Amino acid sequence: MSQRDLTTEEIDAERLKRKREVALGYRIFASLRWGDLGDGHITARDPEFPDHMWLLRYPLGFERATVDDLVLVGPDGTTADGREINMTAYNIHHPIHEARDDVIGVAHTHTPWGTPFSATGRPVNAITQEACTFFERWAFFDDPEVQILNRNGGERIAEAMGDAQVGILRSHGLISTGASVGETIAAFVTFERVTEALMKAPDAEPISDHDAAIARDDLVNYRSLEMAFGFLVERHVGDPSVVG
């Protein structure tokens, strides 16, 4: 959403929308039994201050996330109100937001299929319809640093990601981006299903590049990921007003 010519009311409405989608994303992850150990994070770029991002305060169980639990994080990693955050989230997410003006949301957590798949070093072959969503739109961070201790690690992740929507972090797990937070969450969930298929059918015959590209373009034009977010909220959260 462009900041040009937006009124204060429009900026406030867009900020609230993004924050709600972040909180809903955390609850979706919790429903899927992801992040039970506090491992993961979802961020949203602020519409007024694009070098700032919103993130869940830490520590807090994903299943309890609300709009009021989100903290505004500055480009130096400090928070506007002094509440604590998971600094790994800052180290990984902020460099991606900084490098990609098109990215509104970033999501990462450890999952049953994506994490072990990330340790195989295998490519994301398009063996299913869902995998076609990310045909030529995924990246691999092939780096021995799995404990991202500072921004330098995040900057290398951002460089490896390029303009890809999703990425594999070697021996660490999955990461997704999107032009909205909802799209980001749906991309992450879809990518986890893609890696599940790849782990269960390692010898599957890939879909041809021609047909994978056709499927990808149709799915992207249909805005399938944005629609999928609505289904995820309905299935895993129910009443979206619970996040505020």
With b for 16 or more beta-carbon neighbours within 10 A and e for fewer, the 142-164 pattern comes to: eeebeebeebebbbebbebbeeb
Confidence of residue 222 (pLDDT cuts 50, 70, 90): confident
Report pLDDT for 104.
98
Among residues 124, 107, 127, which one has the least CA distance to residue 40? 107
Element (H or E) spanning 233, and its range?
Answer: helix 224-236
**How many domains does the chain contain in total?**
1
Spatial CB neighbours of 66, under 8 Å, sequence gap ≥ 6: 23, 242, 243, 244
Query: Is the pLDDT confidence value at 1 over 60?
Result: no
Question: What is residue 153's predicted lDDT score, i.e. its pLDDT?
Answer: 96
Cα 168 from chain centroid (whole Å): 12
Residue 5 pLDDT > 80 = no
Asked if residue 157 lies in contact with residue 90, where contact means CB atoms within 8 angstroms, the answer is no
CATH classification of the domain holding 140: 3.40.225.10
Let me know if residue 51 belongs to a domain.
yes
**Residue 239 in this model has a pLDDT that exceeds 80:** yes
The C-alpha angle 79, 17, 81, rounded to 5 degrees, equals 15
Q: Answer whether residue 1 is part of any domain.
A: no
pLDDT band at 4 (very low <50, low <70, confident <90, very high): low
> Per the domain annotation, does 244 fall within a domain?
no
> Across the chain, what does the average pLDDT equal?
96
| Three-point CA angle 207, 213, 219, nearest 5° | 105
In-domain check, residue 26: yes
In a domain, 2, yes or no: no
Domain residues for the domain of 66 are: 8-237
Answer whether residue 135 shows pLDDT above 60. yes
> What percentage of the chain exceeds 70 in pLDDT?
98
Predicted confidence (pLDDT) per residue in 79-112, tens digit: 999 999 999 999 999 999 999 999 999 999 999 9
Does residue 2 carry a pLDDT above 60? no
* Contact partners, residue 218, CB within 8 Å, separation at least 6: none
Whether the per-residue pLDDT at 18 is higher than 90: the answer is: yes
Question: What pLDDT sits at residue 6?
Answer: 85
pLDDT average, residue stretch 235-244: 98
Q: How confident is the model at residue 175 (pLDDT cuts 50, 70, 90)?
A: very high
111 inside domain:
yes
Q: Is residue 3 part of a domain?
A: no
Give domain status of residue 177, yes or no. Answer: yes
